[in-house]
Amino acid sequence: MKAISLWQPWASLWCSPAKVHETRHWPTSHRGWLAVHAAKRLEKDFGGELEMILNAEFGHDWANILPCGALVGMVDIVACERTEAIVRQLDWRDYHCGDFSTFRYGWRRDEFIRFAEPVPYRGMQGIFNISDELVPCAPKERDGVSLLPL
């Protein structure tokens, strides 16, 4: 399975209802399930809307409870679009969870899964491969269509 490392709290946010797009300076051709790894770096000095979103999603103690250095969930990537094309259509929470400045890309996910327990793992830069056995609920494929386990 493919995976990507993100700093916290963005890794956990992408596996939540609040963050639909991950923004990057580079596009991806990847479509389908992507494991989300929370890097060891945790950013915690926020204010305004992002702080409000984090408190609503994870509680006021989020900076002390979000896992780092672990696989935290999976997202189903369905599109990659220029930020200029999508910025006016965004939900306010999604907008405050990313960098939608010009000349960037929004990786849009559809479904997401947050793992019940984080899986300790050392991440890498870019998109990388991990063993399917590491993922507690890896999607199955049937006739070329990804299916989540029951």
pLDDT in tens, 77-136: 999 999 999 999 999 999 999 999 999 999 999 999 999 999 999 999 999 999 988 888
Per-domain residue ranges of the chain: 2-147
Write b or e for each residue in 20-58: b if 16 or more Cβ atoms lie within 10 A of its Cβ, otherwise e: bbbbbeeebeeeebbbbbbbeebeeebeeebeebbeebb
- What pLDDT shows up at residue 67? 97
Q: Is the pLDDT of residue 149 over 70?
A: no
pLDDT digits (tens, 9 = 90+) for 9-61: 999 999 999 999 999 999 999 999 999 999 999 998 888 999 999 999 999 99
pTM of structure: 0.88
pLDDT of residue 15: 97
Cα–Cα distance, 128 to 61 (Å, whole number): 31
More reliable by pLDDT, 23 or 146:
23
- What is the pLDDT at residue 138? 58
Q: What CATH class has 2-147?
A: mainly beta
Using CA atoms, how far apart are residues 89 and 85, in angstroms rounded to an integer?
Answer: 8
Question: What pLDDT, on a 0 to 100 scale, did the predictor assign at position 139?
Answer: 61
pLDDT at 147 over 70: no
